[in-house]
């Protein structure tokens, strides 16, 4: 992912549950697999690249998708692994060298019968989705281009103590983390690393130099941000300059 070097839409609510949806999808796409339905524009933010319903697929199959721009893709599958079966879905760039490792994006193990979802930030281009089945059945598979969906900011608790804590366990329990692909954090500790391992983005809330004292030179502000953890640590995609004002 490219590192982000510019500001943000800064929304503050006392409940600290903020989702920023940024960026429109490029709707100019080529159909790459004649067996697939026509690409569908769902709304200003979402384009459906692949939709397979009632497949009843029991043998391995390869699907081709075209990511219209560098950005986030959403993957959803519905499958049953059976009592002893398993299923994996992997992704690789089309035309990649034979030694390039496939990335597992969805996995079903024995006994699994569920709908699974994940998101990945990928460069523009064509990709191969390989469905590998061993005693399992794939019922449905959907791929969509989506915007960045950001939770801002963790950790962040409400001002009213009776509202409880918005800790990691709470965000997991209410499904907030399942709905986001980027999280903005104050520190780059355990939870940020856990998030990055899932293929999702981590932004660092770096603050703004110059609040005390004012009138910091531009070059000093640049040095401050370029030295932030979000611009340097593995797994981070950049930083957000919080509390921007005239």
**Domain match, 124 and 169 both:** no
User: Is the domain of 160 the same as that of 129?
Assistant: no
**pLDDT bracket for residue 144 (50, 70, 90):** very high
Are 131 and 166 in a shared domain?
no
Task: Give all strands (DSSP E) within the chain, no chain letters.
Answer: 19-22, 40-41, 47-52, 61-67, 71-80, 86-93, 103-108, 113-122, 125-134, 137-146, 148-154, 182-185, 201-205, 236-240
Distance CA 66, CA 93 (A): 10
Domain that holds residue 234: 148-240
**Higher confidence at residue 31 or residue 126?**
126
Share of the chain above pLDDT 90, in %: 38
Between residues 33 and 54, which one has the greater pLDDT?
54
What is the side-by-side order of every strand in the sheet holding 40-41? 40-41, 47-52, 137-146, 71-80, 113-122
**Residue 3 pLDDT grade (very low, low, confident, very high; cuts 50, 70, 90):** very low
Over range 207-212, report the average pLDDT: 70
What is the tally of structural domains in the chain? 2
Strands 113-122 and 125-134: unpaired
Q: Is the pLDDT of residue 13 over 70?
A: no
- Band the pLDDT of 209: cuts 50, 70, 90: confident
| Order of all β-strands in the sheet with 201-205 | 19-22, 148-154, 182-185, 201-205, 236-240
Q: Confirm whether 2 is domain-assigned.
A: no
- pLDDT tens digit string along 44-69? 999 999 999 988 889 999 999 999 99
pLDDT score at 177: 87
**Domain finish residue from 146, 167, 192:** 146
Evaluate whether residue 20 is within a structural domain: no
Residue 107 included in any domain: yes
CATH number at residue 137: 2.60.120.260
pLDDT at site 17: 33
**Torsion, Cα of 229, 67, 74, 142 (10° steps):** -170
- Across the strands, what pairs with 145? 47, 73
pTM of this structure:
0.74
**Residue 220 maps to a domain:** yes
């Amino acid at each position: 992912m490219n590192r982000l070097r510019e500001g943000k839409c800064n929304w503050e609510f006392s409940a600290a549950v903020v989702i920023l949806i940024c960026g429109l999808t490029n709707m100019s796409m080529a159909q790459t697999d004649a067996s697939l339905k026509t690409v569908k524009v769902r709304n200003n933010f979402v384009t459906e690249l692949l939709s397979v319903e009632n497949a009843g697929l029991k043998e391995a199959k390869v699907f081709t998708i075209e990511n219209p721009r560098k950005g986030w893709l959403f993957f959803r599958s519905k499958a049953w692994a059976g009592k002893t079966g398993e299923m994996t879905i992997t992704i690789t760039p089309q035309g990649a060298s034979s030694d390039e490792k496939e990335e597992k994006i969805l996995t079903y193990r024995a006994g699994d019968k569920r709908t699974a979802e994940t998101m990945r930030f990928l460069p523009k281009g064509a990709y191969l989705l390989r469905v590998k089945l061993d005693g399992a059945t794939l019922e449905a598979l959907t791929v969509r281009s989506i915007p960045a969906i950001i939770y801002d900011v963790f950790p962040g608790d409400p001002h009213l103590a009776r509202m409880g804590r918005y800790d990691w366990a709470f965000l997991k329990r209410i499904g907030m983390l399942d709905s986001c692909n980027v999280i903005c954090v104050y520190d780059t500790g355990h939870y940020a690393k856990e998030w990055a391992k899932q293929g999702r983005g981590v932004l660092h809330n770096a603050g703004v130099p110059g609040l005390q004292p004012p009138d910091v030179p531009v070059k000093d502000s640049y040095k401050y941000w370029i030295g932030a953890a979000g611009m340097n640590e593995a797994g981070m995609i950049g930083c957000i300059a919080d509390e921007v004002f005239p």
